[in-house]
């Protein structure tokens, strides 16, 4: 009897425990369902989602504010991954917020970090056309920026290495070796001719001193000459002005003289023409008078009948 009584107690306790566990599960599940979430969609196009899984945390400024509910490749031409995240309804996600993948460098576990928008922006609570939930834009993490910079640095470094490699080609190495040999030879010559070089340097130094003295002398001479030139310049300026005035007057006089000479030439030509004609006329008159005097009879006794003109007659 005693043994049977213990089985009943154990069975009762087991049933009680199962009932309590069932109640606890139902209670916990119901409590979870009572937490308020706001669902958002994030399209990741640039970043890798390596280490991200369903249930991965969604954080804002390092504080978990939600979880990843699901993810899938987005339909359409763009190779984007659509991540559905449930975020606590009490967390205000504003317009202009951006999401990026933040990955633990040691474990590789990834989380979605949301960089919220400015405080004065309105909340992001409306779904765009064709979307079921509001869409948080994809951002870029500091790691990505560093990685991009490192990638460019690596590319540039590779180019530099290639150029260095080209610079250090066999031909260039031979040229550099020859240059070094020439330099060595030159230094040897310089060392051998050190005395001559010292003498040359001394000569240059002496010449420099003489040149400096000469410069000083030239400077003094120039100072003296400047004063003289200034005086000469003033005198020359006055002389030039007088010369210019005289030249202008001379030019005017020359113009007047030229005009008068031209006028004299023209009028003189006419005058000479007239005089010559008068002289010729006078010569003709004298010739005619001479012809008349050549017949003294006609002068003394008058014309004869044959000399009379039409209508003329002698008494």
Partner 1 sequence: MKPYLALAACALALAGCVNFGDQPDAPAPTYYVLDDATPARPASQGAPDAAPVLVVLDTTASAFYDADALVFSRTPGTRGQYQFARWTERPGKRFANLLRNRLDGQGAWRVVGAGGYVRGDWMLDTELVEFYHDATQSPGVFRLVLRAELIDLGQRSLIGRKVFARDVPLASFDAAGAAQAANRATAAVLDELDAWLASSR
Q: Which residues would be at the binding site for partner 1 (CB under 8 A)?
A: 263, 266-268, 270-271, 273-274, 277, 280-281, 284-285, 287-288, 299-303, 307-312, 314-315
At residue 85, what are phi and psi to the nearest 5 degrees?
A: -125, 140
Q: Are 82 and 43 in contact (CB under 8 A)?
A: yes
Q: Are 134 and 41 in contact (CB under 8 A)?
A: yes
For partner 1, give the closer residue by CB, 20 or 270: 270
Nearest distance from C-beta of residue 312 to partner 1, angstroms? 6
Q: Are 58 and 64 in contact (CB under 8 A)?
A: yes
CA atoms 261, 264, 266, 269: torsion sign: negative
Nearest distance from C-beta of residue 269 to partner 1, angstroms? 9
What is the rounded (10 degree) CA torsion for 205, 211, 213, 219? -150
For partner 1, give the closer residue by CB, 76 or 290: 290
> Count of CB atoms within 10 A of residue 96's CB?
14
Kindly state the helix (H) or strand (E) to which residue 244 belongs, with its residue range: helix 194-293
For partner 1, give the closer residue by CB, 210 or 266: 266
For partner 1, give the closer residue by CB, 5 or 315: 315
> Coil, strand, or helix at residue 182?
helix
Give the integer Cα–Cα distance in Å for 296 and 237.
85
Nearest distance from C-beta of residue 257 to partner 1, angstroms? 16
For partner 1, give the closer residue by CB, 108 or 309: 309
For partner 1, give the closer residue by CB, 187 or 274: 274
Nearest distance from C-beta of residue 253 to partner 1, angstroms? 20
Nearest distance from C-beta of residue 256 to partner 1, angstroms? 15
For partner 1, give the closer residue by CB, 172 or 288: 288
For partner 1, give the closer residue by CB, 61 or 297: 297
Nearest distance from C-beta of residue 258 to partner 1, angstroms? 14
Cα separations in angstroms, 162 against 145, 167, 308:
26, 9, 137
Q: Are 66 and 86 in contact (CB under 8 A)?
A: yes
Nearest distance from C-beta of residue 289 to partner 1, angstroms? 10
Nearest distance from C-beta of residue 274 to partner 1, angstroms? 5
Give the integer Cα–Cα distance in Å for 196 and 189.
11
Nearest distance from C-beta of residue 262 to partner 1, angstroms? 9
Give the integer Cα–Cα distance in Å for 16 and 76.
55
Cα 283-286-290 angle, rounded to 5 deg: 135
Query: What residues contact 272, with CB distance under 8 A and at least 6 apart?
Result: none
Give the integer Cα–Cα distance in Å for 68 and 52.
8
For partner 1, give the closer residue by CB, 215 or 268: 268
């Amino acid at each position: 009897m005693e043994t049977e009584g213990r089985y009943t107690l154990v069975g009762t306790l087991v049933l009680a425990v199962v009932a309590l566990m069932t109640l606890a599960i139902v209670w916990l599940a119901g409590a979870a369902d009572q937490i308020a979430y706001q669902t958002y969609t994030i399209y990741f196009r640039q970043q890798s989602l390596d280490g991200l899984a369903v249930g991965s945390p969604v954080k804002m400024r390092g504080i978990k504010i939600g979880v990843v509910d699901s993810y899938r490749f987005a339909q359409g031409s763009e190779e984007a991954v659509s991540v559905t995240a449930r975020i606590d309804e009490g967390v205000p996600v504003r317009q202009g917020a951006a999401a990026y993948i933040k990955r633990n460098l040691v474990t590789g576990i990834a989380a979605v970090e949301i960089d919220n928008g400015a405080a004065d922006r309105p909340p992001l609570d409306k779904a765009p056309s064709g979307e079921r939930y509001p869409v948080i834009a994809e951002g870029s993490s500091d790691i990505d920026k560093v990685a991009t910079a490192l990638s460019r640095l690596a590319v540039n470094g590779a180019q530099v290495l290639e150029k260095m490699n080209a610079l250090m080609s066999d031909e260039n190495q031979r040229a550099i070796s020859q240059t070094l040999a020439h330099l060595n030879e030159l230094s040897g010559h310089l060392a051998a001719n050190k005395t001559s070089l010292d003498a040359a340097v001394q000569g240059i130094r002496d010449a420099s001193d003489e040149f400096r003295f000469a410069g000083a002398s030239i400077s003094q001479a120039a100072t003296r000459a400047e004063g003289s030139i200034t005086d000469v310049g003033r005198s020359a300026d006055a002389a030039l002005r007088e010369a210019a005035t005289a030249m202008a007057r001379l030019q005017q006089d020359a113009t007047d003289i030229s005009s008068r000479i031209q006028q004299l030439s023209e009028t003189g030509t006419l005058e000479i023409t007239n005089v010559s004609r008068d002289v010729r006329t006078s010569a003709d008159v004298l010739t005619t008078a001479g012809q008349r005097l050549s017949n003294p009879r006609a002068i003394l006794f008058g014309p004869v009948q044959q000399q009379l003109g039409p209508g003329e007659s002698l008494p």
